[in-house]
C-alpha cells in the first residue's frame, strides 16, 4: 500500500466508525484537544472520553488490520 491508499482506508474507516467513538477520536487526534476539553465539548466525563478514545482506537485497529495486513 502506498500512503495515499492508507489515508483513503483510514478516512473510510473513520467515516464508518460509530458516531460516539468518532467524535472523541476526531476531537482528540485531529483537533488536538485534551481529554478535559473533549469531555467538556461532548458533555461527558473525562473517564468516558478516555474509554471512548480507547474503543475508537481499538475499532480502527480491528477494522484496518485485515485491510492493511501484509499478504
Residue 67: the pLDDT is 76
Per-residue pLDDT reduced to its tens digit, 3-59: 888 889 899 999 999 999 999 999 999 999 999 999 999 999 999 999 999 999 999
What is 22-59 written as a DSSP string?
A: HHHHIIIIIS---HHHHHHHHTS-HHHHHHHHHHHHHH
Higher-pLDDT residue of 35 and 71 is 35
CB contact at 8 A, 60 and 22: no
pTM across the whole model:
0.86
Q: Which fold has domain 3-68?
A: Arc Repressor Mutant, subunit A (1.10.10)
Q: Where are the domains of the chain?
A: 3-68
Amino acid at each position: 500500500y502506498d500512503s495515499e491508499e492508507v489515508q483513503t482506508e483510514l478516512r473510510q474507516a473513520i467515516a464508518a466508525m460509530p458516531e460516539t467513538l468518532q467524535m472523541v477520536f476526531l476531537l482528540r487526534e485531529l483537533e488536538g484537544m485534551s481529554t478535559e476539553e473533549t469531555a467538556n465539548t461532548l458533555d461527558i466525563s473525562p473517564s468516558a472520553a478516555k474509554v471512548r478514545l480507547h474503543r475508537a482506537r481499538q475499532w480502527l485497529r480491528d477494522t484496518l488490520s485485515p485491510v492493511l495486513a501484509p499478504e
